[in-house]
Amino acid sequence: MKVLMINGSRREKGCTYTALSLVADALNQEGIETEFLFIGKDAVNGNIDEIVKTAAEKLKACDGMVVGSPVYYAGPSGEVRVFMDRLFSTSSGVLRLKPAAAVTSARRAGTTAAIDAINKYFAFAEMPIVSSRYWNEVHGATPEDVLSDKEGVQIMQVLGRNMAWLLKSIEAGKNAGIGTPGPVEKVFTNFIKK
Ligand SMILES: Cc1cc2nc3c(=O)[nH]c(=O)nc-3n(C[C@H](O)[C@H](O)[C@H](O)COP(=O)(O)O)c2cc1C
């Protein structure tokens, strides 16, 4: 089993990467493979379609995903927003029923608002949202800060462990004959009266 770790920071090896690495280490310890995808500045530099295509291809071969974002102005980064808007408009069928989690890094505030925003994409695509022993956040301006945030480190480790447990449980369910619920034909309504 494999989980795609998406780094939505403009810094390839910054705080967000450090948080994602802690989750990945915990997944690896439970025998789950991980792969990193750095969406970086390309998400807003005209290459969004290419990055989303690459991500969707990789996600076909993955059983779950973790999306990491730095907090910018009390929300996810613009890079994560653009990426998620495009990924979920084009590829929600690939994502459906795959466990997912959002992790955020902030110097001080805005983490839970950023997590809420990212979780809304997961819920739209029927993805089980994985949680930890607190909201999935670390704090700092450098990777060293993040590693000295002992509570944040533990939250990332527990998140990885919980995701591994859920992935293994889904696999065990499949092996025991519990079928995956198929997609429904969607009913769309709005509030405009004719
Ligand atoms: C444009 C911008 C906006 C930011 N806004 C916030 C914010 O609202 N709250 C906060 O605590 N930190 C904020 N920060 C700090 C980063 O979220 C924080 O340093 C984060 O850990 C950086 O992660 P990275 O190393 O992966 O880029 C902001 C940083 C930038 C560059």
Q: Digits of tens for pLDDT over the chain (194 positions)?
A: 999 999 999 999 999 999 999 999 999 999 999 999 999 888 888 889 999 999 999 999 999 999 999 999 999 999 999 999 999 999 999 999 999 999 999 999 999 999 999 999 999 999 999 999 999 999 999 999 999 999 999 999 999 999 999 999 999 999 999 989 999 999 988 888 76
Topology classification of domain 2-175:
Rossmann fold (3.40.50)
Which atom of ligand 1 is least distant from the CA of 142? 25
CA gap 186, 38 in Å, rounded:
33
Closest-lying ligand 1 atom to the alpha carbon of residue 139: 21
For the chain, give every domain's residue range.
2-175
* Rg of the chain taking only CA atoms, in angstroms: 17
Residue 77 CB neighbours (<10 A)? 23
Quick one: which of 79, 81, 63, 86 has its CA closest to 3? Answer: 63
The DSSP symbol for 35 reads: E
State the distance from the centre of ligand 1 to the C-alpha of 136, rounded, in angstroms: 15
Ligand 1 centre distance from Cα of residue 49 (Å): 25
Structure-derived torsion over alpha carbons of residues 127, 171, 17, 84, reported in degrees to the nearest 10 = -20
> Of ligand 1's atoms, which has the minimum distance to the CA of residue 107?
11
* Ligand 1 atom index nearest CA of 7: 26
CA of 183 to the centre of ligand 1 (A): 38
Distance 37 CA to ligand 1 centre (A): 20
Residues with CB under 6 A from ligand 1: 9, 11, 14-16, 70-74, 105-110, 140-141
Question: What is the CA(45)–ligand 1 centre distance, in A?
Answer: 20
**pLDDT in the model for residue 194:** 62
Q: Which atom of ligand 1 is nearest to the CA of 14?
A: 25
| Overall pTM > 0.95 | yes
What is the pLDDT at residue 20? 98
Q: How far is the CA of 52 from the centre of ligand 1 (A)?
A: 24
